[in-house]
């Protein structure tokens, strides 16, 4: 519930709205460039080996983390699909496609370790975890206020994901699980740059981190994404060149 309160404080309505039909061609191209390297191929390398069944007994913490991450990645996907349908901005659609691969990768781990999938049979916007269900409801409400609020919602999701993934990586002793989490973390870094760059592009507003420290946030913005494209302080594409809210 701590996340929900923080998200409510985070998303401040701004008087800005852009219809999809009015999005300039240059801005649309910029949105595509920001997230073009966050595509599912970043996870291709380890999806196939993970299909084998493991006899390793995971700790309760590792199991709980997998269950939570499965639905947290689904939440990101479902929110972005909703926001794309509402605002028509390509960044939401592109990152939603990446989140499909993220949540499927965690689903593969669940199957490998014989853990029931909490997202099985759940429709878009539906979650077994009640905290995530409440968070989803809050995010789509806030993201409906304006395009700026929608982009802030996306950035907030990625900040939370980054902190969650950092902790879950530290919680596991299994190399395969850690590898998946590390790839998801790289994806979330890319997505955060995409949303904050889009916020600057669309509204002129500089995003202020709400969950990451200022130093962590700046390190992510000035880092290099999975495709080798460097992003500057405002998330703009440039030359070539990480205590989360507790979910337990």
Residue 239, SS3 per DSSP: strand
How many residues make up the chain in this entry?
A: 248
- pLDDT for 30: 37
Distance CA 95, CA 86 (A): 15
Distance CA 141, CA 138 (A): 5
Mean pLDDT by 10 residues, the chain (248 residues): 43 33 34 39 43 84 98 97 98 96 95 96 96 97 98 97 97 96 96 97 96 95 55 31 40
pTM of the model: 0.74
Q: Where are the domains of the chain?
A: 39-240
Contact assessment for residue 26 and residue 88, using Cβ atoms and an 8 Å cutoff: no
- pLDDT for 129: 97
231: β partners: 237
- pLDDT for 21: 29
Q: What is the DSSP pairing of strand 237-240 with strand 229-231? A: antiparallel
Contact assessment for residue 154 and residue 95, using Cβ atoms and an 8 Å cutoff: yes
32: β partners: none
- pLDDT for 23: 30
- pLDDT for 223: 79
- pLDDT for 110: 96
CATH class of 39-240: mainly alpha
Contact assessment for residue 88 and residue 23, using Cβ atoms and an 8 Å cutoff: yes
Q: What are the Cα distances from residue 188, in Å, to 18, 130, 184, 194, 225?
A: 25, 23, 6, 10, 10
- pLDDT for 50: 55
């Amino acid at each position: 519930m701590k996340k929900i309160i923080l998200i409510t404080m985070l998303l401040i309505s701004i008087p800005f709205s852009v219809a999809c039909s009015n999005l300039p061609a240059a801005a649309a191209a910029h949105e595509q460039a920001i997230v073009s390297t966050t595509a599912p191929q970043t996870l291709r390398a380890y999806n196939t080996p993970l299909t084998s069944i493991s006899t390793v007994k995971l700790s309760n913490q590792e199991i709980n983390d997998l269950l939570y991450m499965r639905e947290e990645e689904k939440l990101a996907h479902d929110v972005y699909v909703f926001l794309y349908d509402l605002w028509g901005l390509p960044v939401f659609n592109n990152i939603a496609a990446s989140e499909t691969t993220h949540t499927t990768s965690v689903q593969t781990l669940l199957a490998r370790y014989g853990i029931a999938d909490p997202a099985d049979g759940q429709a878009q916007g539906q979650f077994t975890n009640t905290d995530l269900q409440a968070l989803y409801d809050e995010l789509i409400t806030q993201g409906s206020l304006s395009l700026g609020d929608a982009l802030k919602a996306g950035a907030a999701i990625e900040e939370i994901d980054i902190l969650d993934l950092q902790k879950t990586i530290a919680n596991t002793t299994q190399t395969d699980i850690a590898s998946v989490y590390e790839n998801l973390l790289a994806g979330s870094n890319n997505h955060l740059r995409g949303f904050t760059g889009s916020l600057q592009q669309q509204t002129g507003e500089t995003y202020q981190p709400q969950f990451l420290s200022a130093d962590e946030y700046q390190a992510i913005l000035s880092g290099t994404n999975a495709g080798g494209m460097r992003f500057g302080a405002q998330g703009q594409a440039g030359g070539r060149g990480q205590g989360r809210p507790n979910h337990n």
